Structures are given as C-alpha cells and as structure tokens.
Chain A
Amino acid sequence: MDHLDGNALAGPLADYFTFDVTAATARCNGCGEVAEFARALVFTSPAGTVVRCATCEHVLATLVEAGERAWLGFSGVSAIEVRRA
C-alpha cells in the first residue's frame, strides 16, 4: 500500500493544533477515563511539563521546550478528540 512521508503531516497537524488543546478530550491509557485536558494534573519542572490523568495519575502527555525546539509527547493517551466548529 502506498504511503506518504512525514512531511505530509505538517499541514493537518498545524490545523488541529490551532484548537485550544485544553478543551480537547483524551482517553487515558492507564484507566480508560475520557476527560478534557483542562481537568488533568499538570506538573511543571525546569526539565519539562508532565500532564497526568486526574483519575489515576498516569502520564498523559509531556512537553519539553528548549529554545526553538519543543517536544510534544502523547504517550499516555489512546486518542484525542478535537471538536470542530
């Protein structure tokens, strides 16, 4: 089956990340709870930001920022729901 290279993701992702992530909901891989990011627990340290499930404290997402570089990790969610207007 044909596939596109990763550059093809740039357009679609840029579109989705213009939404307010805090209003998006995600399913926690730890306990299965579906909740808005706004309800999650956020731990900030100079090393990075860690977002944890309010129900089970499983890590949902991480953000590491270093100058012009940033890493967005979503290792702890199975999917994110974004409402389109």
Chain B
Amino acid sequence: MSFVTRGFGGRSRDRDERLPPGQTLVHDFPVLSAGPTPEVDTAEWSFTIVTEAGTHRWSWDEFQALPAEDIATDIHCVTHWSKLGTSWRGVSLDTLFEDVESQFDYVMAHSFGGYTTNVPLDELLDGQAWIATEFDGEPLDPEHGGPARLLVPHLYFWKSAKWVRSLVMMPRDDPGFWEQNGYHIHGDPWQEERYW
C-alpha cells in the first residue's frame, strides 16, 4: 500500500518540466465560453488578413488548398490547467503572411461572435502560430472553436481565439476582449502573465 502526500518532501523534483508555474495537468479538454457558440457554415466562412493597404481573403476551399501542417504542442489555460502533447492540423501563419506587407507590428484577432484578442506579429511568425482546423484528427468542433481557430500555444490559451475570422494589423498593441477586462496584455505562461 502506498500513498502520496502533496507538498511533502521532495515532490518538486518530480514536477513535470513541461508545466509552467501554477499549472495543473488535465487529460480532458475543458471548454471556456464567454458567449453563445457561433455555428459557422464553411460555405459562408472566409478568413481575412487586413492591413493598411487592403484585405487578403481566403474562402474555405481556398484555405483547404493551402499547405497544412501537423502540430504537436502543449497548451496552457490561464485558469490553471495544462494539457500536454495535443495534436492539431492547420495552416502556419508564415504561409498566410507570405504575401502580406504591413508597416504595423501588432495584430488583433477577430472571431465570429465578436471576441477579440491582441498578439504582436513577431509572436505569430517563425513557426509559432497556426490557423487550426483539426484536433485529434477530426474537424474542429464548434465548441472548441471550429471550423477554425487561432493556435498560439506559447501564450495562454485565451489568445488562441476560437471561431477566428480575421487578423487585423494595427500600429499599437491595443487590448482585446479579456485584455481590456483584467487579463494580461501579453499572456506568457512561463512568466505567469495572467492579469494586469
């Protein structure tokens, strides 16, 4: 018979190094929702990148024709859960930004349903972010942000906007929805950037 007493003698040595401070492992996938789940028909779906010079637009079929990647990554929610080794498939933002030129350094992600979140452009490029359309080999459920969500796994998961529809370039790092209402402007889990 054995038992484990949390926080008693040397437990910290056993702590998984993939877990940022203040996080606990989960095996399910808790859903956070600040509103009704938008039901977005792929026939009406489009994704846009908006710059000071104009709009780049992809229909669902055009988007499906882009080269996609498999992504294996850990995700960290600000509400203290982390999930390790999740599997996604999506289009890298490096691909989407290939022909996009802008003088602006910041991005506001906009979602169907009205949600917004801000991310600096240099944290979306160089293999750091995707527009994901599959989770665990299946099309992304509406409750997990389908048909497509932003995936920025090195930041807290509220930055990985569900139901994403556009990325709008902006000259300043303006705060998005949760960032205006108490959450951190940047959201690095390794620095515990949870709140203002």
Contacts and interface: CB of A to CB of B under 8 A. Distances in A.
Our verdict on whether A and B bind, yes or no, reads yes
A22 interface: no
B97 interface: no
Contacts of B79: 46-47
A47 B33 CA distance: 8
B6 to A, nearest CB: 20
Nearest to A61: B181
Interface string A11-39: 00000000000000000000000000000
A75 B32 CA distance: 21
Interface residues of B, number: 20
A52 B35 contact: yes
A62 B30 contact: no
Contact of A69 (B30, B34, B35, B195): B195
B195 A47 contact: no
Contacts of B196: 71
Interface in B168-187: 177-178, 180-183
Interface in A44-76: 45-48, 50, 52, 57-59, 62, 64, 66, 69, 71, 73, 75
A64 B32 contact: no
B182 A50 contact: no
Interface string B103-121: 0000000000010000000
B157 to A, nearest CB: 9
B180 A45 contact: no
B35 A71 contact: no
B56 interface: no
A45 B177 CA distance: 14
A53 B180 CA distance: 19
Contacts of A64: 178, 181-183, 195
Contact of B194 (A50, A57, A62, A66): A66
Contacts of B178: 47-48, 64
A71 B194 CA distance: 13
Interface of B: 30, 32-36, 77-79, 114, 158, 177-178, 180-183, 194-196
Interface of A: 43, 45-48, 50, 52, 57-59, 62, 64, 66, 69, 71, 73, 75
8 closest Cβ pairs, A-B complex: A71-B182, A64-B182, A46-B79, A73-B181, A62-B181, A50-B34, A45-B32, A47-B32
